[in-house]
Amino acid sequence: MAPRARRLRPASARQRRDDEAVSELIATVLLVVVTVVILAGLAEFFLKRPAPEDQVHAELFLSLDPGTAGWGSGDEAFVLEHHGGEKLDAAATQIRVLLRGQPTTYSGGSLGSAFTDGSFTIGETWRVTRSIPAASPVEVQVIVKGALMFQDDTRAG
């Protein structure tokens, strides 16, 4: 029996099929490369950002005590109460009092009795006696690790 002759396709038809397969492969590789580059860019952007700084969270309450002789007699007091949250470390805490626009800052040893153990914790009261004239605007700021943690303002009397 004689060998069967194979029917050959024209060279242009074979080449067209081969080119199409190569084109699909190149397109797939390019899509994968573009995806990897985009993901690497996003990872660089989000993963290289600095972590947020740790902030102290505490619930504080400000009040003014008129003293025994009333406003302006010299025995009035700023009273700051710690009602909950984290303790405030004396070394990292500043309390700034603005009385009629005049600032006074308490830090370190000048913080007084509430910080004698090195921290201001739940249930403790910080008290500073000063002369506070009636109807005077008062603002108290608590700054911990350089960040404003608490701010409140009120008026005497």
User: pTM for this structure?
Assistant: 0.64
128, 64 in Cβ contact below 8 A?
A: no
| Range 98-106 contact pairs with CB under 8 angstroms and sequence separation of 24 or more | 98/137, 98/138, 98/139, 98/140, 98/141, 99/130, 99/132, 99/136, 99/137, 99/138, 100/133, 100/136, 100/137, 101/137
Res 18 pLDDT > 80: no
Res. 2: pLDDT tops 90: no
* Domain range 58-155, CATH architecture: Sandwich (2.60)
- The percent of residues in the chain predicted with pLDDT above 70, rounded, is 87
